[in-house]
A and B are shown apart, each in its own frame.
Chain A
Amino acid sequence: MSGLFKRCLRASAWLLLILMVAGLLSYGSPCVKGADDASVGVGNADAAVRQAFNATLEAERAGANVSGLILRLNEAGTVLGEAEIALGKGNSSEATSEAGQCVGIAESVKSDADALKASALDEARTVFWAYLAFSVVGIAVFVVALALVWRRFKRGYVGRTLGMKPEVAHDEA
C-alpha cells in the first residue's frame, strides 16, 4: 500500500514538472513577457497621442479654440516621454503604468476634440447662413431701394427739363 502511494506521489511530481516546463516554453520567461507588454503599451500610447492630435487639428480647422486641448496634449507628451525612458531603462512596470496614464489622457483629449469639432461645425454653419442671409437680403433691399430712388429722381429730372422755358438768345454781333 505504501509502495503504491510512493509511486503515485512520484508520478504526480513528474507530471507537475512536465506541466511547468511546458508552461514556460509556451509562454516564454515572465521577464521577456513583461518587456513585450511594456513595449506594446508604449506603442499604444504613442498611437493614442497621435490620434488625439489628429482630432485636435480637425477641431482647430473647424474653428474651435483648442488651447486647452493643446495643454493636455503636452501633459500626455510628457508622460509618453517618461514611459519611453522607463522602457529604455528596462523598467517594464513603470513603462506600462506611464503608458496607461498617457492613453487615458489622450483618449479624453480625443473625445473632447471630437465634441468641440461638432459644436464648432454647428456654429460655423449658423454663422455661414446668417452672413449669407444678411448679404442676400441686404443686396435685394438695396437694389429695390436704389431702383425706386432712381425712378423718382428720373421723373423729377424729366419734369424739371420739360418745365424749362426757352430763352431767347441775342446775337450781340
Chain B
Amino acid sequence: MKLEDYKVVFAVVGLICVLLLAVPALSLAVHFPAGEKFSELWVLGSGHMAEDYPFNVNESGSYLVYLGVENHLSSSAYYEVILKFRNESEPLPNETAGVFSSSPPLYVYHAFLQDGQSWEQPLSFSFLQVSAAQNQSVVGGLTVNGVTLSVNKHAVWDDEGSGYFYELFMELWIYNVTSDAFQFHNRFVGLWLNVTAAS
C-alpha cells in the first residue's frame, strides 16, 4: 500500500471515531420522530372481557360494564369520558367530520394518563320509570354509579329488532393545552339496549 492509501484509512477511521465521540452531544439536539399518536377507548362486559354485554334490560335489573382508555400520545393527557343516552332517531357523533353528539352529557369521568398508561373504571347502571304503551316506550331516569339522573327519552317499537332500543354511549374528549378547552377526540363506544319495564 502507498502512503496515500494509508492516509485515506487514517482519515476514515478518524472520522468514524469522531462521530462516535459526538454521539452524546448529538443525542441532546437530535430527536427522532415518535410513532403514530392515538388514544384508545373501550367498553368491556362485567367479566372484563369483550363479551356478556347487557342487551335485554329492564327496570328491575342493575348492569355493570367497564370503561377503558389508553394513552399513546407520547406525553401525558387529560381525558374526559362523557356518558350520553339516545334513542334510535337521535344522531351519533360523526367520526368523519369529528363532530360530537348533540345529546346532553349525563355523567363525566376525568382521567389523567401518562404515555402508555391505561385507565379502567366500572360503569354500573339501571333504569327508572320505564313505561310502554301504544308502540312507544319512555325511560324517565337512569342511575349511573349510584347517581340518579333524569333522561326522559322516548323510543318507538322497532319491528325489525322486536324491541324498544336505546343506546348508552360514551365519547372521549381531550384537554387541549393551547386552547385551554376540552375537544372531542373523535372516539366513542356504545351499548345498544332493548329497555323494557319491570317484568
Contacts and interface: CB of A to CB of B under 8 A. Distances in A.
Whether A associates with B in a native complex is: yes
B22 A77 contact: no
B180 A50 contact: yes
B127 to A, nearest CB: 19
A66 B75 CA distance: 11
Contacts of B109: 81
B115 to A, nearest CB: 9
Interface stretch (B23-31, B47-55, B59-67, B84-92): B23-31
Chain A interface SS verdict (over half): helix
Category for how many chain A residues contact B: 35 or more
A55 B80 CA distance: 19
B197 to A, nearest CB: 25
B175 interface: yes
A135 B107 CA distance: 55
Interface string A62-90: 00001100100110011011001100110
A39 interface: no
Given A54-B177, A60-B75, A70-B76, A77 B111 contact: yes
B112 A138 contact: no
Interface string B1-20: 00100110010011001100
A141 to B, nearest CB: 9
A66 B175 contact: no
Interface stretch (A3-11, A14-22, A92-100, A150-158): A150-158
Given A70-B76, A85-B147, A153-B6, A78 B22 contact: no
A146 B10 contact: yes
Interface string B92-113: 0000000000000001111111
Given A49-B78, A60-B76, A85-B147, 9 more contacts: A60-B114, A70-B76, A73-B112, A74-B111, A127-B28, A136-B25, A142-B18, A143-B18, A157-B6
Interface of B: 3, 6-7, 10, 13-14, 17-18, 21-28, 75-76, 78, 107-114, 117, 119, 147, 149, 175, 177, 180
- Pairs of residues from A and B, 8 with the lowest C-beta to C-beta distance, nearest first: A77-B110, A135-B25, A131-B24, A138-B21, A73-B112, A53-B78, A146-B14, A139-B21
